[in-house]
Structure 1
């Protein structure tokens, strides 16, 4: 498990250490630094998968700013503008899995590949050693789902390499339907993740059961389209004699397709998996948002590590209820509230107690309902 991430001269951070837990919740105002945490981890993974962290031959090691997972621009876009005693370089430090590693990259204003400084970096230069050092970040089971996920479509891509060789859903969840088709009979082995009254413990039946928690009455199927490199997703409602015809995603509410990659990512996770989630509550009603927290909490209790960015108080309260009901230990959670202070970001970290209460409630931290209520009652 990853235990901390330290960002130096990265985007809105001069230097800050962020503690990580099995379930880490990142909240705060827009443009306050939440996404930077997820992006920095995705940047390291992207640079590893492209071979830039562990180059072969005479190529230079570096951070690849633009690739499959993130598109961060150039050095000018990612370096903290007001660097001071830490110097002009960009630093990413990760602790976890009983080890630590540091990468320090030179600042080049127009470059999208930032060269690593060997004398300041402390990480293996070969892929096998790096994966062995930090398997949570560089091993199998990694998923990063962005806020802009797949929308309802008539068909979805069919990539054997993505779903079978990599087990990857894609940063927009674009391979989710094909993954579900190919792995629908796989067993969900985590007891914490299984819904007991589902038809079976298979991935498909458990996906159906969790989707029904998010949208009561819904069911789904994923199938290949013969003679094409695409797959089809269909939804039905009701059961038995009252079961509806199959509907295309384009004729069903946006939220169902938007949330499906998150459900499949959590259900297919294994101990040691790392799942990065941006705004999983998007397009979900409040009940569904709370159940989203229950799902992520169950994945964390089953051994996966979740780092989630959210703007939803329902997700926060769902996490607190997971702790209060004893389904997730309080020490397995971390909550970080991000806010701007001048040109930099600062982080306040309320602690969840075993009864679900928070150690503090800083100004601006999910307090808009109380602010509005005060005005309504005035």
Structure 2
């Protein structure tokens, strides 16, 4: 598990060491640095998957590098990712863009690439060996962008992605096929089992958690014969079975259900060693659904996964605080970072969730809009 991420000259960060926990919330105003934290880890994974994160023969012109544009991320070119006020490296004509992390067992890993303004593969200047058991690089990795799948009549059926890699896709596009394949598998994690699930299968528990977002809903994921596609349908008969005679296409159901499904599946499929990166899990959900999504995220952390979550929702924050108070997850296994701009540099303030769910402090600008609005209404 990663307990600290270190960034130098990367996007919003001139230099920063960012503590991470089993469940970490990244909050703050737009363009304050939250996404940069997720993108740094995703950039390592993207470069690893494309076989550019290491040198093949030690020759300088054959070194690998950071792949800025690929399956997971499209960051542009070097000039798009270099911090405005760079840290210079003595003896080098160009700055280094550095991404590193420390694991909970004290191991440190670091990759530094030479800045090139017009290049989208930044050549490595130095690189750690890729750890065999690193959560960034193992099979149990999920990254779900804010731009996720929307209601559609069909979704792709890629055996290699959904079953071979166990990957839901950066937009969650392989979620339905993953659910189809694993629907009848037994749910083994006690921490992730929903107390009101109708049975022991993975689908039973997906349905139970989805009913937290929309009471009475149930799901069915089926193969479409003859083409490489699968179909998702919803029922509203209040059961978790697949025998409802009146089923609805996602295009005829609220946007939020389909948008939230990849997050529910990612959390329920998590286990020890998993790394799950989530952007805006609250999108298109009502406040109760946002709070319950936080409860699921906390449960995934309690099951041994590490989740790093970018959010703009005080309901997600409060849902995590309630999970701590209700002893779903220890306070020590959570972190909350509030990002704000200080000139050109991202500044990070870290209020702590305490054992009773209260916060150690409440920084100015940190989810205080309700109080500000209330003061104006009562004035």
Q: Distance in 2 between matches of 1:344 and 1:107?
A: 19
Matched, 1:174 2:173: yes
8 Å contact kept, 2:56–2:64: no
8 Å contact kept, 1:97–1:136: no
Q: Which residue of structure 2 lines up, in the alignment, with residue 337 of structure 1?
A: 338
Q: Which residue of structure 2 lines up, in the alignment, with residue 364 of structure 1?
A: 365
Please report how far the alpha carbon of residue 247 of structure 1 lies from its aligned counterpart in structure 2 after TM superposition. Answer: 0.4
Q: Which residue of structure 2 lines up, in the alignment, with residue 186 of structure 1?
A: 185
After TM superposition, the structure 1 stretch with the greater mean CA deviation from structure 2, 262-271 or 89-98, is: 89-98
Q: Which residue of structure 2 lines up, in the alignment, with residue 91 of structure 1?
A: 98
Q: Which residue of structure 2 lines up, in the alignment, with residue 127 of structure 1?
A: none
Q: Distance in 2 between matches of 1:66 and 1:271?
A: 30
Q: Distance in 1 between matches of 2:206 and 2:149?
A: 17
Q: Which residue of structure 2 lines up, in the alignment, with residue 4 of structure 1?
A: 4
**Residue 65 of structure 1 is aligned with which of 49, 54, 68?**
68
Q: Distance in 2 between matches of 1:188 and 1:196?
A: 12
Q: Distance in 2 between matches of 1:258 and 1:362?
A: 31
Q: Distance in 1 between matches of 2:323 and 2:30?
A: 26
Structure 1 segments, 4+ long, off by >6 Å, are none
Please report how far the alpha carbon of residue 165 of structure 1 lies from its aligned counterpart in structure 2 after TM superposition. Answer: 1.1
8 Å contact kept, 1:8–1:86: no
Q: Which residue of structure 1 lines up, in the alignment, with residue 276 of structure 2?
A: 275
Deviations 1:146-186 (A, max 9, x none): 00000000000000000111000000000000000011112
Q: Distance in 2 between matches of 1:86 and 1:255?
A: 47
Query: What is the TM-score with the length of structure 2 in the denominator?
Result: 0.95
Q: Distance in 2 between matches of 1:326 and 1:52?
A: 42
Please report how far the alpha carbon of residue 363 of structure 1 lies from its aligned counterpart in structure 2 after TM superposition. Answer: 0.7
Task: Give the SS at the match of 2:125.
Answer: coil
In the TM superposition, 1:69-148 aligns within 5 A as 69-85=72-88, 88-98=95-105, 99-118=107-126, 121=127, 123-124=128-129, 130-132=130-132, 134-148=133-147
Task: Give the SS at the match of 1:359.
Answer: coil
Please report how far the alpha carbon of residue 97 of structure 1 lies from its aligned counterpart in structure 2 after TM superposition. Answer: 4.8
8 Å contact kept, 2:46–2:71: yes
Q: Distance in 1 between matches of 2:77 and 2:165?
A: 28
Task: Give the SS at the match of 1:138.
Answer: coil
In the TM superposition, 1:1-378 aligns within 5 A as 1-56=1-56, 59-85=62-88, 88-98=95-105, 99-118=107-126, 121=127, 123-124=128-129, 130-132=130-132, 134-239=133-238, 245-378=246-379
Residue 358 to residue 97, structure 1, CA distance change in 2 (3 Å): closer
Gaps in structure 1 of 5+ consecutive residues: 125-129
Count of residue pairs the alignment pairs up: 369
Deviations 1:303-348 (A, max 9, x none): 0000000000000000000001111100000000000111121000
8 Å contact kept, 1:131–1:139: no
Query: What is the TM-score with the length of structure 1 in the denominator?
Result: 0.95
Q: Distance in 2 between matches of 1:187 and 1:304?
A: 19
8 Å contact kept, 1:238–1:244: no
8 Å contact kept, 1:192–1:298: yes
Q: Distance in 1 between matches of 2:87 and 2:34?
A: 22
Task: Give the SS at the match of 2:318.
Answer: helix
8 Å contact kept, 2:324–2:355: yes
Gaps in structure 2 of 5+ consecutive residues: none
**Cα RMSD, aligned residues only:** 1.6
Please report how far the alpha carbon of residue 135 of structure 1 lies from its aligned counterpart in structure 2 after TM superposition. Answer: 1.9
Task: Give the SS at the match of 1:17.
Answer: strand
Q: Distance in 2 between matches of 1:209 and 1:177?
A: 16
Please report how far the alpha carbon of residue 238 of structure 1 lies from its aligned counterpart in structure 2 after TM superposition. Answer: 2.1
Q: Distance in 2 between matches of 1:135 and 1:251?
A: 42
Deviations 1:189-229 (A, max 9, x none): 21110012212221111100000011111111000001110
Please report how far the alpha carbon of residue 86 of structure 1 lies from its aligned counterpart in structure 2 after TM superposition. Answer: 5.6
